[in-house]
Chain A
Amino acid sequence: MNILKVFAMIFALILSSANLVKCEELNIYSHRQPFLINPFLEEFTKKTGITTNVIYSTKGLAQRLRSEGKNSPADVVLTVDIGRLYIYQDMDLLSVISSKKLSENIPEHLKSLDNTWFGLSKRARIIVTSKDRVEVGAISRIEDLADPRWKGKICTRPGSHVYSRALMSSMIAAHGLEEAEKWATGLVSNLARRPQGNDRAQVKAIYEGQCDIAIINNYYFGKLKYSDKEDQRTWARSLNLVFPNQGETDRGAHVNISGGGVAKYSKNKDSAIKLLEFLTDEFAQNLYGEINFEYPVNPKVEATSELQSWGSFKEDKLPILTIAKLSREAQKIIDRVGW
């Protein structure tokens, strides 16, 4: 039958265009966009000769890994945000690995206790203020954002976004549920507009005069400062950066991580560990800063000079796992206060 022939032909074409995956290659499930991780992987291949295959998705990769079970081709999982990493641990999808190098390169509070997942880079949640309309030093703590003085001045992305939720968790960890909810209520009543857009959009809103203060991840500032669009560079120039909670006795700025682990049923555990080790070594740690303005986790590596020029800061040393564990309570508060 004609139609059968057509079917067979198209299908053969699809199969021939899809690269078949070979076993000795390293297969990666990534929550990070390909254009951000490819430079790392290219260098890794150059150094070790191990080639990599990637599937990128923002959601559901943990469910995929679980449903594949022992047949899963995945070797390495790479994510952004601790919440997503924790889901893999929670579903028991990661191998316990022992690597001296990883233990040395990553501080205690940025990895799991059972050696299943590891922080690979840090990003700080910072406050940005309008150069023209907010005095330097007027805001120094995240807690200040609930001060009625800033009524109608603050912009943020929706509370249900992972970054906002993680910040909420850190507030619960620092002050307990009740106080944290009070803070969130105060923050919401200070908002200049309905929470919307990503962190880039908040900066734009400050530039446009819709609000004076916003909470963003530090790397967005770098991305805007070096954007290929002139208008975005202008937005960045209208800002002052505030690393919050820097006082002598204060806890430091809330940080989140991008991280990774080795899949439980990986057939290439050695290569998988090699990749994680490579990502915590000096070269890759610098690359995180150069490509995406993120801070190194490795204490032996200094932040890039660009990042240093924004000022040094003290980070909240709260074990990052606590952030993930408080996620549900954080979401509940967010739902209640309507952030």
Chain B
Amino acid sequence: MWLNLRTLDFWQATVLLLSILIFCPLVSLILMSFGDSEGLWEHLLDTVLIKYVKNTLFLMIGVSFFSLLFGVLSAWILTNYKFRFSKILEVLMLLPLACPAYLVAYAYTDFFEYAGPVQGLIRDLMGWEIASDYIFPEIRSLGGAIFVLSSVLYPYIYLLSRTAFRETPNSYYEVAQLYNKNIFWIVSLPLARPAIVAGLALVCMEVVSDFGTVEYFALETLTLGIFNVWIGMNNINAAAQISTFTFIFILMLLLVEIRSRAGKRFNDTSSRQTYKKAKDITGIEASFCIVGCLIPVSLGFFIPIMILLSNAFSSLNFHNYYEVAKIFTNTLLVSLFGALCIMVVSIVIACTAYFSGKRYLRIIANFSASGYAFPGTMLAIGILVFIGLVDKALGLLGGTNSNFYLNGTIFMLIFAYIVKFQAVGYGAILSGLTKTSPNLIWASRSLGMSFQKTISRITIPLIKKSIVAGGVLAFVDIMKELPITLLLRPFNFETLATFTYQFAHDELMGKASVPALLIIFVGLIPVLFLNRVLRSNI
């Protein structure tokens, strides 16, 4: 039988339950989308839907293209060549990870707008006086959104593809060189495909669920449409329908990719593990490489940081710094705890499902990692509905005077983070697993080791880097996370992101800059740590 529960061992049963639990909030959103949309679709189809879909598609294609270009190119350069500053660049490339996209959008708008320094300089230089004297691309546009989102999202691809490039066995390159083939197109790229796609999937999901940037640029994407229908037309069912529709679309894309690589293997089974040495280069070649790497990192980190710094200094800011320090610690603790939870859950789910040999278990596990594709606020609504039901059930169990409930507690928030960011941890671990040889596992199992021991003694040490990478991404993601934290937090609970938002929401950039810079600097710590781990030979 396809689904015979009696064949499940303890771990598999745990994974089944965990995955279902994580998937439940999504189910409640999907169920909500079966509610009455009061004939709004007809109106939407007649008016704005095509515009929403078109903008979303173009945004996704544009951001995918540029973040692939930035991410893969810099990863390739930095794994294969050694030049002056290459070690520093390796670290620098990761920095945009710490920058929330919507804050970068705010910063760039000020910078590139008519009254901003760039256009001001151009006018001064050229002697132009008013807007109609010249043409300057508008930052609040599709192009602007592509520019901002790819500048901050490319590190997902860079990170995962660099690890993959680095772990490609040298023997493959030697074979390719013997046959005089291009090693990038013939060896590196195909072998790194699962990693690159994992990164790209994260990028696409970020793009589809982004609200802050598109709202600020007034770019009418599906996510903006969700909110127009929900808040403007007071119909959350239709909003849930649009988000389910978007979700299914993303899922289809992923399925196409997984199908097309089915039957291919990306791991090395030989025991001889030598890796390609980076080639020393100097002069013009090296300068090209430096510039190639500096462009994305300047766009995604240095320029926005400088704008924020100048904002912070240009106006007087009165913050209660004792309060800010408290918020800072709180953010750190919550992100750390959330990331740990996500990684433990991801390891259990990914390893068990991967080695179980049960197809349905893998499918369910994949589903549990799909929360990333929903806009944060919609996901938060799904969680509210689900937890509301759980609380009702708990109330029934505990009798009428039961005082225990999950709604509005820190548990709910952590659970929400797992639902949203499970994809980050799960994806990283899965791409690590595809690179390890299953023979090692079977050997260990046939020598009498238990599954649990095999995983903790063999698999985990082998994929340590992927675990750290996933954990750091999850940490930084939670720290930057805004809509879920905003809606689900307990009373008097602030993170740096929510604290920044109250000012940024009102376009008070001077006041928002200090906490925004703090978010970025806290994010830098794990990012730098990540780089050390990736470089070391563990």
Q: What residues of chain A have their CB less than 8 Å away from a CB belonging to chain B?
A: 3, 6-7, 10-11, 13-15, 17-19, 21, 27, 33-35, 53-61, 63-64, 66-69, 71-73, 83-84, 86-87, 90, 157-158, 160, 162, 165, 193-198, 200-201, 204-205, 207-210, 228-229, 231, 327-328, 330-332, 334-336, 338
Determine whether the beta carbon of B131 is less than 8 Å from that of A208.
yes
Determine whether the beta carbon of A7 is less than 8 Å from that of B377.
no
Nearest CB of B to A263, in Å = 13
Q: Is B233 an interface residue, CB under 8 A from the partner? A: yes
Determine whether the beta carbon of A58 is less than 8 Å from that of B505.
yes
Nearest CB of B to A12, in Å = 10
| A–B Cβ pairs within 8 angstroms, 15 of them | A10-B340, A14-B330, A18-B330, A33-B502, A34-B502, A55-B491, A59-B377, A64-B408, A66-B388, A69-B391, A195-B218, A196-B140, A204-B113, A204-B115, A332-B43
Determine whether the beta carbon of A228 is less than 8 Å from that of B316.
yes
Determine whether the beta carbon of A68 is less than 8 Å from that of B388.
yes
Which A residue's beta carbon lies closest to that of B115?
A: A208
For B385, list chain A residues within 8 Å (CB).
Answer: 63, 67
Q: Provide the B372-411 mask, 1 if CB < 8 A to any CB of A, else 0.
A: 0000010011001101100110010000000001011010
Q: How big is chain B's contact interface, by range?
A: 35 or more
In the A-B complex, the 7 residue pairs with the closest CB atoms: A67-B388, A331-B232, A53-B491, A196-B218, A33-B502, A335-B47, A67-B384
Determine whether the beta carbon of B491 is less than 8 Å from that of A331.
no
Nearest CB of A to B24, in Å = 14
Q: How far is the CA of A214 from the CA of B44 in the complex (A)?
A: 28
Which of B46, B227, B380, B487 neighbours the largest number of chain A CB atoms within 10 Å of its CB? B487
Determine whether the beta carbon of B490 is less than 8 Å from that of A18.
yes
Q: What residues of chain B have their CB less than 8 Å away from a CB belonging to chain A?
A: 43-44, 46-48, 113-115, 130-131, 138, 140-141, 217-218, 224, 227-228, 230-236, 314-316, 326, 329-330, 333-334, 336-337, 340-341, 344, 377, 380-381, 384-385, 387-388, 391-392, 395, 405, 407-408, 410, 483, 486-493, 498, 502-503, 505-507, 510
Determine whether the beta carbon of A35 is less than 8 Å from that of B502.
yes
Determine whether the beta carbon of A59 is less than 8 Å from that of B231.
yes
Given contacts A67-B407, A198-B507, could you give 16 more A-B pairs where the C-beta distance is less than 8 Å? A10-B333, A17-B330, A18-B330, A18-B410, A59-B227, A64-B408, A72-B407, A73-B491, A160-B224, A160-B228, A194-B140, A196-B140, A197-B140, A198-B506, A328-B233, A336-B47
Q: Interface on chain A toward B: helix, strand, loop, or mixed SS?
A: helix
Q: How far is the CA of A72 from the CA of B233 in the complex (A)?
A: 26
Q: How far is the CA of A58 from the CA of B489 in the complex (A)?
A: 13
Nearest CB of A to B85, in Å = 36
Q: How far is the CA of A56 from the CA of B482 in the complex (A)?
A: 12
Determine whether the beta carbon of B48 is less than 8 Å from that of A335.
yes
Q: How far is the CA of A160 from the CA of B47 in the complex (A)?
A: 13
Q: How far is the CA of A55 from the CA of B493 in the complex (A)?
A: 8
Which B residue's beta carbon lies closest to that of A193?
A: B138
Nearest CB of B to A307, in Å = 19
Report if A228-B232 is in contact (Cβ < 8 Å); known contacts: A59-B487, A158-B218.
no
Determine whether the beta carbon of B493 is less than 8 Å from that of A18.
yes
Determine whether the beta carbon of B489 is less than 8 Å from that of A55.
yes
Nearest CB of A to B220, in Å = 8
For B489, list chain A residues within 8 Å (CB).
Answer: 55
For B228, list chain A residues within 8 Å (CB).
Answer: 160, 331, 335
Q: How far is the CA of A19 from the CA of B490 in the complex (A)?
A: 9
Residue from the list B44, B131, B341, B384 in contact with A64, Cβ < 8 A: B384
Report if A67-B491 is in contact (Cβ < 8 Å); known contacts: A14-B330, A327-B232.
no
For A229, list chain B residues within 8 Å (CB).
Answer: 314-315, 510
Determine whether the beta carbon of A11 is less than 8 Å from that of B43.
no
Residue from the list B336, B405, B502 in contact with A10, Cβ < 8 A: B336
Nearest CB of B to A64, in Å = 5
Q: How far is the CA of A72 from the CA of B193 in the complex (A)?
A: 48
For A208, list chain B residues within 8 Å (CB).
Answer: 114-115, 131
Determine whether the beta carbon of B326 is less than 8 Å from that of A17.
yes
Report if A64-B234 is in contact (Cβ < 8 Å); known contacts: A53-B492, A195-B218, A210-B131.
no
Determine whether the beta carbon of A197 is less than 8 Å from that of B381.
no
Determine whether the beta carbon of B315 is less than 8 Å from that of A327.
no
Determine whether the beta carbon of B315 is less than 8 Å from that of A228.
yes
Nearest CB of B to A56, in Å = 7
For A194, list chain B residues within 8 Å (CB).
Answer: 138, 140-141, 218
Which of A54, A56, A165, A198 neighbours the largest number of chain B CB atoms within 10 Å of its CB? A56
For B395, list chain A residues within 8 Å (CB).
Answer: 71
Determine whether the beta carbon of B391 is less than 8 Å from that of A327.
no
Determine whether the beta carbon of B44 is less than 8 Å from that of A57.
no
Determine whether the beta carbon of B486 is less than 8 Å from that of A56.
yes
For A90, list chain B residues within 8 Å (CB).
Answer: 234
Residue from the list B344, B410, B510 in contact with A3, Cβ < 8 A: B344
Q: How far is the CA of A15 from the CA of B333 in the complex (A)?
A: 10
Q: How far is the CA of A56 from the CA of B344 in the complex (A)?
A: 31
Report if A197-B218 is in contact (Cβ < 8 Å); known contacts: A35-B503, A64-B384, A210-B114.
yes
Which A residue's beta carbon lies closest to that of B411?
A: A11
Nearest CB of A to B259, in Å = 36
Nearest CB of B to A78, in Å = 14
For B232, list chain A residues within 8 Å (CB).
Answer: 83, 160, 162, 165, 327-328, 330-331, 334
Nearest CB of A to B320, in Å = 10
